[in-house]
C-alpha cells in the first residue's frame, strides 16, 4: 500500500441507453447504487464531486451541487469537474486529493449525461477562436473523421486491416453480452461489421461507438476509514493520471487542426497518450506486466489497438498480433474491455471514466458475473479527454 492509496468503498451505475430522461435522474440512481454497495449512509458523505455535462442546461454546469440537492442536502462540501471525456477521472482525483489531504473521509463522485441524437457536436453559436467549433465549420471534421484518420494511420504504419478492426468489435460485443449495464448486448460477426454502412473510411458503423444516456458513481474513502468499517473488499485506487501533452505534440489530437512543429524542439520520448499510462504506472509503482485487465477508450475499434500499445500492454505495432491470438479476450493473457467497452455502452461523457473504474472494481472483487477475468489483481483504465486531458486510473486488490 502506497501513501497515495484511497479505498473504493462502493460503485454503482445506471444502465446505458437512450432513455429520454434528465441526466440527474441517472446520476441519482448510480449514486444510490454506489452508496448501497458501500454500506455508507448518505448523511455520512462529507464531499460530493460531480462530473459536469455541458449540453443539459444550467444544472449541468454545477453538477456537484445539483446531485447533492437531488440526493437531499446533507451539508457536504461540493466540487464540480469538467475535462471532456476525462471528466470522471478528474472528479475522482479531486475527491482523492481531499481525502489524502485529510480534508475528507468519505466522498461520492458522480457523472451522468443525457446525450443528443447523432454524433457529439459543439454547442451552437459563432466562436471563431474555438478549435472544436472551427473543425466542424471549416473542415467538416466530425469525431468519426478523426477516428478514421487514426485508423488509416494504423493501417499505414503497422499493417492493420479492416478485418482487424472488426475483430475488436466482435470481441467486445461478446464481452458485453452478460453486462447488465451495457446498451448493446448482441453478438456480431466480422462480416456484420464489414457489411455495416461506411461512416468514415475505413471505419464502418459498427466500428464506432454511439452516444448514450447513462451514469456511474464511486464512493471513495480513506484506507483507514475502510479498515475501521470493513469496507470495499480491499479494492484501492493506487494512481490517477491527469497529465497534459508536452510540446511538441507530434500526433494529431482531436479537435486540433495540426500538430506542433519540431524544427526548434525535438519531440520527447513519449507521445501524449503514452505519457498518460506511464504517469499512472510510475505513481502506482507497478510495471505494465503487472496488469490483469484494461478498460480503454474505444471510441472506435482502431483506437482500442492504439491504447493497448500506449499503455505498454504490448510493443508498438504488436496489438493486432495479440488480438488475432485471442490474448485480449476473456481467458486470454490481458483481457481488454471485458465490460464490452464504449462499443457496447456508447458515450455518456462525464460518466465513462467512472464507469471504467466501476468495471475494474467489480473485476477485482470477482463479481463481474459472466465476464470475470480470473485472478484479477490489478486493473488500468484509459479515457483521454478533449483539449489535452489525460485520464488513467490504476486499481488493485
Residue 221 pairs in a beta bridge with: 7, 106
Q: What is the pLDDT of residue 109?
A: 98
Instruction: Output DSSP code: residue 223.
Output: H
- φ/ψ of 227, rounded to 5, equals -65, -40
Q: Which of 214, 53, 205, 54 is nearest to 144 (CA)?
A: 205
Under a CB-based contact definition with an 8 Å cutoff, are residues 358 and 365 in contact? Answer: no
Q: How confident is the model at residue 174 (pLDDT cuts 50, 70, 90)?
A: very high
CA 361 centroid distance within chain: 14
The residue that leads in pLDDT, 299 or 56, is 299
pLDDT digits (tens, 9 = 90+) for 243-295: 999 999 999 899 998 999 999 999 999 999 999 999 999 999 999 999 999 99
From edge to edge, which strands make up the β-sheet containing 378-381? 77-81, 47-51, 106-113, 213-221, 6-17, 236-241, 392-396, 378-381, 293-295
Kindly report the pTM of this predicted structure.
0.96
Q: What is the mean pLDDT of residues 218-232?
A: 95
pLDDT digits (tens, 9 = 90+) for 126-162: 889 888 899 998 888 999 999 999 999 999 999 999 9
Q: How far apart are CA 97 and CA 203, in angstroms?
A: 40
- φ/ψ of 316, rounded to 5, equals -60, 130
Q: How far apart are CA 318 and CA 315, in angstroms?
A: 6
Under a CB-based contact definition with an 8 Å cutoff, are residues 40 and 275 in contact? Answer: no
Q: What is the pLDDT of residue 57?
A: 58
Query: Residue 15: in which H helix or E strand, if any?
Result: strand 6-17
> What is the end-to-end Cα distance of the chain in Å, rounded?
10
pLDDT digits (tens, 9 = 90+) for 117-128: 887 888 778 889
Under a CB-based contact definition with an 8 Å cutoff, are residues 169 and 301 in contact? Answer: yes
Read off the C-alpha cell for 71: 440526493
Q: What is the pLDDT of residue 123?
A: 75
Instruction: Classify the C-alpha dihedral 387-65-120-153 as positive or negative.
Output: positive
The ranges of the chain annotated as CATH 3.40.47.10 are 6-118+213-235, 131-208+238-396
The per-residue pLDDT of the chain, averaged, comes to: 95
Q: How confident is the model at residue 36 (pLDDT cuts 50, 70, 90)?
A: very high
Q: Which of 395, 130, 118, 167 is nearest to 283 (CA)?
A: 395
Q: Which residue has the cell 472483487?
A: 365
Q: What is the pLDDT of residue 56?
A: 52
Assign a CATH topology to domain 131-208+238-396: Peroxisomal Thiolase; Chain A, domain 1 (3.40.47)
Q: How far apart are CA 374 and CA 371, in angstroms?
A: 9
Q: What is the mean pLDDT of residues 10-20?
A: 96
Instruction: Output DSSP code: residue 115.
Output: P
Q: What is the mean pLDDT of residues 299-305?
A: 97
Question: Radius of gyration (Cα) for the chain, nearest Å?
Answer: 20
pLDDT digits (tens, 9 = 90+) for 181-197: 999 999 999 999 999 99
Q: How confident is the model at residue 55 (pLDDT cuts 50, 70, 90)?
A: low
* Cβ within 8 Å of residue 270, ≥6 positions away: 246, 278
Residue 246 pairs in a beta bridge with: none
Name the 3-class secondary structure at 135. Answer: helix
Write the burial class of residue 369 (CB in 10 Å: 0-12 exposed, 13-18 middle, 19+ buried).
exposed
Residue 1 has pLDDT above 70, yes or no: no
Under a CB-based contact definition with an 8 Å cutoff, are residues 224 and 35 in contact? Answer: no
Q: For 302-328, give the DSSP string.
A: HHHHHHHHHTTSS-TT-HHHHHHHTTT
Instruction: Output DSSP code: residue 254.
Output: T
Q: How far apart are CA 267 and CA 88, in angstroms?
A: 29
What is the CATH number assigned to the segment(s) 6-118+213-235? Answer: 3.40.47.10
Q: How far apart are CA 391 and CA 397, in angstroms?
A: 21
Q: Which residue has the cell 469525431?
A: 143
Write the burial class of residue 334 (CB in 10 Å: 0-12 exposed, 13-18 middle, 19+ buried).
buried
Amino acid at each position: 500500500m502506497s501513501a497515495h492509496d484511497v479505498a473504493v468503498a462502493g460503485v454503482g451505475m445506471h444502465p446505458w441507453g437512450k432513455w429520454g430522461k434528465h441526466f440527474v435522474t441517472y446520476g441519482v440512481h448510480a449514486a444510490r447504487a454506489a452508496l448501497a454497495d458501500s454500506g455508507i449512509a448518505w448523511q455520512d458523505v462529507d464531499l460530493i464531486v460531480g462530473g459536469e455535462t455541458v449540453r443539459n442546461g444550467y444544472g449541468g454546469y454545477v453538477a456537484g451541487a445539483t446531485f447533492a440537492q437531488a440526493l437531499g442536502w446533507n451539508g457536504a462540501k461540493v466540487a464540480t469537474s469538467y475535462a471532456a471525456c476525462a471528466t470522471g477521472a478528474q472528479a475522482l482525483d479531486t475527491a482523492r486529493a481531499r481525502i489524502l489531504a485529510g480534508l475528507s473521509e468519505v466522498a461520492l463522485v458522480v457523472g451522468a449525461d443525457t446525450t443528443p441524437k447523432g454524433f457529439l457536436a459543439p454547442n451552437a453559436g459563432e466562436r471563431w477562436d474555438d478549435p472544436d467549433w472551427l473543425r466542424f465549420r471549416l473542415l467538416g471534421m466530425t469525431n468519426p473523421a478523426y477516428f478514421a484518420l487514426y485508423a488509416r494511420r494504423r493501417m499505414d504504419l503497422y499493417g492493420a486491416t479492416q478485418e482487424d478492426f472488426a475483430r475488436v468489435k466482435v470481441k467486445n460485443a461478446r464481452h458485453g453480452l452478460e453486462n447488465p449495464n451495457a446498451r448493446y448486448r448482441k453478438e456480431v460477426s466480422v462480416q456484420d461489421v464489414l457489411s455495416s454502412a461506411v461512416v468514415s473510411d475505413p471505419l464502418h458503423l459498427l466500428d464506432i461507438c454511439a452516444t448514450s444516456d447513462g451514469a456511474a458513481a464511486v464512493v471513495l474513502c480513506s484506507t483507514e476509514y475502510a479498515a475501521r468499517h470493513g469496507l470495499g473488499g480491499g479494492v484501492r485506487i493506487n494512481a490517477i493520471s491527469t497529465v497534459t501533452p508536452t510540446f511538441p505534440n507530434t500526433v494529431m489530437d482531436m479537435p486540433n487542426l495540426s500538430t506542433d512543429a519540431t524544427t526548434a524542439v525535438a519531440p520527447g520520448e513519449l507521445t501524449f497518450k503514452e505519457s498518460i499510462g506511464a504517469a499512472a504506472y510510475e505513481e502506482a509503482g507497478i510495471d505494465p506486466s503487472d496488469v490483469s485487465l484494461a478498460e480503454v477508450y474505444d471510441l472506435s475499434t482502431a483506437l482500442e489497438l492504439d491504447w493497448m500499445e500506449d499503455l505498454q500492454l504490448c510493443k508498438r505495432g504488436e496489438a493486432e498480433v495479440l488480438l488475432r491470438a485471442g490474448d485480449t479476450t476473456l481467458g486470454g493473457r490481458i483481457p481488454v474491455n471485458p465490460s464490452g467497452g464504449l462499443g457496447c455502452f456508447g458515450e455518456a461523457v462525464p460518466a465513462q471514466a467512472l464507469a471504467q473504474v466501476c468495471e475494474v472494481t467489480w473485476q477485482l472483487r470477482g463479481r463481474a458475473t459472466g465476464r470475470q477475468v480470473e485472478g484479477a489483481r490489478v486493473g488500468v483504465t484509459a479515457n483521454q479527454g478533449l483539449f489535452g486531458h489525460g485520464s488513467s486510473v490504476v486499481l488493485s486488490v
